[in-house]
Structure 1
Amino acid sequence: LLVWLSASGIRSWQRIRHLQHRDAAVAPHNPVEGQLLDQLKRIQDDSDRHVRALRLQQQQQLDNLDLFTHEIKNALTSLEAAAENAPTVASTSVKDEVREANYYLDLLLNDERLTMASNDYEFSWVNLADLVNTVIQQNSALFIHRQLVPHLVNLDHDVLTDPKWLRFCINQLLSNAIKYSPAGSTITISWHDHALAISDQGIGISAADQQRIFENGFTGHNGHQTTQSTGMGLYLVKRVASKLNFTIRVRSKVGQGSRFYLIFPASNTR
């Protein structure tokens, strides 16, 4: 009996060790063990997928961090070079580089906030006219420098959303409109049929690029024409939209400008 118990215990121990090797093929001894092995396999597969997704997300965050810090460092390096080459630096140059550094710092911080598991959202009724005017005031120096004219149409409406994140989305879309608009043109911000539209008279976006402009890091043809494009702004706006229950759309023709829409559910507007 002792010999039999010892042999049985050794076989059980060997079988457990065999089960611990995930690639090992194990034949079930009975239907119950077969069901347990199938369940174990499903759990292991789910765990592997989750680990791969986390590793990919971590690598993406590291890549984004490198990108943003590189752009911030470029702005600071430009300031340092200007200070070394002259006893004084024009305030316009300082403001431009500081604005550039703040822009990428804002992208970096919001990218990190979106990645955090906690839901840092506070929904309230937001007046679009007030919010858009605030964003325009923040970009007033760029409007003046580029001689651009903001045109507001029918914005006396309220939407139920997080005001901080909506301001971020509007600021990103407005920054793109400013970046690609010719001097002296008009940027129109309007409300129609539960959608906030930001339109420019810029260079437009090709049909091929429109399919990918919301992807992480995609700059497209227009992005290659400027050194100020990272392909992250629209990607982050898309992520915010998916979390706050509104959608983003684009209509554009090359040479005729672009129009971006933030479309809200009817129940979230008044």
Structure 2
Amino acid sequence: MIRMFLKERVSWILFFIFLQLLVLAMGYLDTSVPFTSTVYIAFISCLSFVLFIVARYGKETRFYKHIHSVEPSFDLTTIPEANSPFETITHEKISEQIQVYKNQLDKLQTDLEQEKDDILNWIHEVKTPLTTLQLMIERTKDPALRSQLMYEWLRIHLLLDQQLHQKRIPFIQNDLYIEKVDVQKLLFQEIKSLKQWCMQKRIGFDVSLETIDVLTDAKWLGFISRQLLTNAVKYSEDSDVRIRCTSQNGITTLSIEDFGQGIAPRDVSRIFDKGFTGTANHPNHAATGMGLYLAKQVAESLLITMEVESTVGKGTRLSLVFAKENEMIRMTRM
């Protein structure tokens, strides 16, 4: 800040130095004025000027030091009071600009809330005819047609469910309820919902759960499991999906492993990126690249670590590593 202060006033300093040199030159050229007295006057002037600069530095930089040190914020109380006309102008303009941005932000947030509510209402409205459609499909007598219709119905249902949870994720902290969750019951419900799809692709499930209960949020864990199971079924055929749940040193791990096409090594680090659908031939044009991204967002809110292991042509294992119970209890108290 000292360098900036001196740089700002370099023209005044140079002008003062010029005046002192002029006084010394006049004392040297004018024999009627003792040169020693001229040097003494110049010395006293320079000393006074230095003391003046030091005193003004503290007063004139206080306002700008405060502005430089505060964190970016729309809080008007963080702006210090002005001590000079120029500082007053700066203070007023900054305050006005912040107020404009704050008003714009409030409007955008209100519009976003309204858009979220509208989409959520629309999704709930669509679910009613979707449920009716499911009942109509179940009454279809042709097994092949019924299976195909149920598969397409399930795709619509999963996309709507994904969209519903996507809109809720920004506000997930308001929707968490941490409790003991029966993993077996939750998984079997999710597997049952995929029954028609699994039958069509001839996929079974090999489930072995050493640990049954985990401390987490049932609804959001169900959403994560749904995304992982959907991916496992989507990229597999004529094989089983292996599900394991183990616990070691107080840490529970739930893994879902398929034996499908696997993930290319160059893609493994990107599968949780928003909109990423893979680079290996893009066989599934219907993929949105949102499932694992959303699952990752939810997992982070639940203190769950997601790990992936994959080999091309052999399959993929996605694991959920749950936080220790004391960490979850600590989160509920925040």
Q: Structure 2 length as normaliser, TM-score?
A: 0.57
TM superposition shift of 1:234: 0.4
Over residues 181-229 of structure 1, what are the superposed CA-to-partner deviations in whole Å (9 max), with x where a residue is unaligned? 12x2010110124200000000111111011110111111247111121
Q: Distance in 2 between matches of 1:200 and 1:250?
A: 12
Higher relative contact order (CA 8 A, sep 6+): 1
Query: Do the aligned partners of residues 44 and 220 (structure 1) sit closer, same or farther apart at CA in structure 2, a change above 3 Å counting?
Result: same
Residue 141 of structure 1: aligned partner:
196
> Any idea what the Cα deviations from partners look like across 1:214-252, whole Å, max 9, x if unmatched?
011111124711112111000011101110011100000
Tell me the residue number matched to 1:31: 58
| AA at the equivalent of 2:316 | S
Structure richer in helix, relative to its length: 2
1:46 CA drift (Å): 4.5
1:208 matched residue in structure 2 = 266
Is the Cα contact below 8 Å between 1:246 and 1:263 reproduced in 2?
A: yes
- Which amino acid is 2:67 matched to? L
Match of 1:229, SS state, is: coil
* Paired residues of 2:261 and 2:314 also in contact (CA < 8 A): yes
Q: Residue 15 of structure 1 corresponds to which residue in structure 2?
A: none
- The Cα of 1:36 is off from its aligned counterpart by 2.7
* Structure 2 counterpart SS, 1:153: strand
2:67 aligns with: 40
- Corresponding position: 1:239 with 2:266: no
Q: 1:175 aligns with which of 218, 230, 235?
A: 230
Structure 1 or 2, whichever has the larger Rg, is 2
User: What CA distance in whole angstroms lies between the structure 2 residues aligned with 1:32 and 1:139?
Assistant: 71
The alpha-carbon distance between structure 1 residues 155 and 229, as it changes in their structure 2 partners (threshold 3 A), is farther
Shift in alpha-carbon separation, 1:208–1:191, aligned structure 2, 3 A: same
Mapped to 1, the partners of 2:303 and 2:321 lie a distance apart of 9
Per mean C-alpha deviation after superposition, the further-off stretch among 161-170 and 130-139 is 130-139
Quote the offset at 1:117 in angstroms.
6.9
Amino acid aligned to 2:292: L
Mark the CA change 1:219 to 1:32 in structure 2 (over 3 Å): closer, same or farther. Answer: farther
Distance 2:324 2:245 in 1: 13
Q: 2:324 and 2:187 mapped to 1: Cα distance?
A: 20
1:189 aligns with 2:277: no
Note the C-alpha offset of 1:103: 1.1
> SS of the counterpart of 1:166?
helix
Residue aligning to 1:158: 213
Give deviations 1:2-57, integer Å, cap 9, x for gaps: xxxxxxxxxxxxxxxxxxxxxxxxxxx65355233233345584459x99x999xx
Residues 125, 158 of structure 1: 8 Å contact kept: yes
Map of 1:7 onto structure 2: none
Partner in structure 2 of residue 110 of structure 1: 165
Is the Cα–Cα contact under 8 Å of residues 247 and 264 in structure 1 kept in the other structure? yes
Structure 1 residues 70-99: Cα deviation after superposition (integer angstroms, max 9, x where no partner): xx9xxx9xx9xxxxxxxx993333322221
Q: Which 10-residue stretch deviates more, 107-116 or 38-47? A: 38-47
**Any stretches of 5+ residues in structure 2 without a counterpart?**
1-55, 75-97, 134-141, 329-334
User: Residue 147 of structure 2 contacts residue 200 of structure 2 at CA under 8 Å; is this kept in 1?
Assistant: no
| Equivalent residue, structure 2, for 1:122 | 177
Alpha-carbon offset, residue 143 of structure 1? 1.3
Please state whether the residue corresponding to 2:316 is helix, strand or coil. strand
TM-score, normalized by length of structure 1? 0.69
Q: Distance in 1 between matches of 2:72 and 2:223?
A: 38
- Percent identity over the alignment is 32
- Whether contact under 8 Å (1:128, 1:155) holds in the other structure is no
Distance change >3 Å, CA 196–CA 32, structure 1 → 2 = farther
- Give the deviation of 1:170 after TM superposition: 0.5
